[in-house]
Amino acid sequence: MLLYLKSIFFGLLGALLVNYLADCLPHKRRPSMPICNHCGKRLSIVRYLALRQCGHCGQRRRLRYGLVALGGVGLVYWIQVYPVRLDFWLSWLVLVVFGVITVIDIEYRVVLFETVIAGGVVFLAIGVARHGVLSTLLGGSVGFLSMFGLYWLGKLLLKVRKRASSPGEEALGFGDVNLFTILGLLLGMPAVLVALWIAIAAAGVFSGGVVVRMWLSRNYRTDMAIPYAPFLIFGAFALLYLVRP
């Protein structure tokens, strides 16, 4: 019974934090008073918590709030019943950082520098405590270098294919490089390399699914931008929470 109550309470608390940060960070770049994630205007705390629609633009609160809440309760339940590698509170904190970066990347196709810095401090501390300074710094460096290599490879491929539909289009954003650097700190070496393979495989399966769907609907688009942060985070998540220690 306590297990369920704890899952619901701390799951919803984490979800509230993720939703709130994912609403205000893209607009304000720092925690602020609650705002509408559509028009960026202030919402009263009561209106915000009651999930009422925005008084300025009429935006109804998105489906995202519900999905994040469900995910939050499910994950907090999971970290209590599964033999995971981090204790409850550290896991909760890591999952909130994962959640904020994932939601913002899916909605805005960007990994904010602010979330990378804040997450990086947390991940560095956890990394050093878990597997020492050397493995942590090596993990961060390997994370940065491997992603930086893929970043340039992506740029090169776009150039060769000359399919860039908009001038600023990038296969992989630099935010992804930053993100994988801090995930490297969290995981350490050599786990960071395993996480990279999991991320690439997951992104490959997803892209394959997208291609099949386009093929079935006879609607081809070569300029589809896929947010990569969720796959990188999934790679780290799988190692920390799906593989038995």
Closer to Zn ion by Cβ: residue 22 or 54: 54
Binding piece for Zn ion, criterion CB under 5 A, among 54-62, 69-77, 161-169, 189-197: 54-62
From candidates 18, 22, 25, 54, binder to Zn ion by CB under 5 A: 54
Q: C-beta of 138: minimal distance to Zn ion in Å?
A: 45
Least distance to Zn ion, CB of residue 115, Å = 22
Binding mask 3-42 for Zn ion (x = CB under 5 A): ---------------------------------x-xx---
Q: Which is nearer to Zn ion, 57 or 121 (CB)?
A: 57
Answer for which of 6, 42, 56, 109 binds Zn ion (CB under 5 A) is 56
Segment interacting with Zn ion, rule: CB under 5 A, options 48-56, 60-68, 193-201, 219-227: 48-56
Smallest separation, CB 60 to Zn ion (Å)? 10
Of the candidate residues 3, 45, 57, 210, the single one contacting Zn ion (CB under 5 A): 57
Based on the shown chain and the rule CB under 5 A, indicate whether residue 53 belongs to the binding site for Zn ion: no
Which three-class secondary structure string do you get for 21-43?
HHHHHHHHCCCCCCECCCCCCEC
Angle 2-28/88-108 helices, nearest 10 degrees? Answer: 40
CA distance 44 to 42: 7
Q: Which is nearer to Zn ion, 50 or 160 (CB)?
A: 50
Residue 37 or 181 having the CB closest to Zn ion = 37
55 interacts with Zn ion by CB under 5 A: no
What the block records as the tokens of 195 is 């996480």
Of 27 and 56, the one with the shorter C-beta distance to Zn ion is: 56
Judged by beta carbon, residue 104 or residue 192, the one nearer Zn ion is 104
Q: Does 59 bind Zn ion (CB under 5 A)?
A: yes
48 or 237: CB nearest Zn ion: 48
Q: What is the per-residue DSSP string for the chain?
A: -HHHHHHHHHHHHHHHHHHHHHHHHHHHSS--S-B-TTT--B--HHHHHTTPPPTTT-PPPPHHHHHHHHHHHHHHHHHHHS--SS-HHHHHHHHHHHHHHHHHHHHHS---HHHHHHHHHHHHHHHHHHHHHHHHHHHHHHHHHHHHHHHHHHHHHHHHHT--SSTT--SS-HHHHHHHHHHHHHH-TTHHHHHHHHHHHHHHHHHHHHHHHHHHTT---S-PPPP-HHHHHHHHHIIIIIS--
Q: Which residues bind Zn ion (CB under 5 A)?
A: 36, 38-39, 54, 56-57, 59
